[in-house]
Chains A and B, each alone.
Chain A
Amino acid sequence: DGGITQSPKYLFRKEGQNVTLSCEQNLNHDAMYWYRQDPGQGLRLIYYSQIVNDFQKGDIAEGYSVSREKKESFPLTVTSAQKNPTAFYLCASVSSEGYGYTFGSGTRLTVV
């Protein structure tokens, strides 16, 4: 079945370490997105990519980096510059028709 896979589901890191969250899709979707969600809050856009080798900053890009070397993959790196990295991270993709987004099941990152 087609879908989006985020791994790992839970991730623990020490403060000051960079960490990379994986997002892979086999839906042949062009656009991919990374969102962050804090407890009791809505989703906030970190980065997005509409085609391979191109990406744009979202509303809260500081302290994060991404790459889009393959259509299927859009990894997110949480750097040590991110002040409050502990959160629930969600990846999504959408086809060129642009209607329904498909979301992954998320990665819960805890920095201690």
Chain B
Amino acid sequence: DAKTTQPPSMDCAEGRAANLPCNHSTISGNEYVYWYRQIHSQGPQYIIHGLKNNETNEMASLIITEDRKSSTLILPHATLRDTAVYYCIVRPYGNKLVFGAGTILRVKS
């Protein structure tokens, strides 16, 4: 599976958009980009995934660059409850999830 690089931490003001970057320069054509988040002492929660096209659901938007070497998870209106560790994971369909260190997002009032 391709390696991902994320900043260790980010801050965001409550009500503003949170943009979390992820680099995956060695991604293969059959690998999907997945995002999960983990609120303290809970199990990770699936957010969104994509292959080539940008995706949006009720939680977030995923923007994947045309060369697929990087992506951005966007939380359009961050709230205090969005404070969590966000994991960007790249893997082929059906493969097991491998977690890195993720990005600690702190939403501040």
Interface, chain A (partner B; CB < 8 A): 4, 33, 35, 41-45, 48, 58, 88, 90, 92, 98-106, 108
Stretch of B11-19, B39-47, B63-71 lying at the A interface: B39-47
Is B10 an interface position by the 8 A CB rule? no
In the docked arrangement, what's the CA distance between A54 and B54, Å?
36
Is B96 an interface position by the 8 A CB rule? yes
- Inter-chain contacts of A35 with B (CB < 8 A): 99
B49, A42: Cβ atoms under 8 Å?
Answer: no
Does more than half of chain A's interface fall in helix, strand or loop, or is it mixed? strand
Q: Bin the interface of chain B by size.
A: 10 to 19
Does more than half of chain B's interface fall in helix, strand or loop, or is it mixed? loop
Is B101 an interface position by the 8 A CB rule? yes
In the docked arrangement, what's the CA distance between A41 and B100, Å?
8
- Inter-chain contacts of A99 with B (CB < 8 A): 46, 49
In the docked arrangement, what's the CA distance between A103 and B102, Å?
17
A104, B97: Cβ atoms under 8 Å?
Answer: no
Q: A33-B96, A58-B96, A98-B94 are in contact. Are A43 and B101 (CB under 8 A)?
A: no
Q: A42-B100, A48-B96 are in contact. Are A101 and B44 (CB under 8 A)?
A: yes
A92, B43: Cβ atoms under 8 Å?
Answer: yes
- Inter-chain contacts of A90 with B (CB < 8 A): 43-44
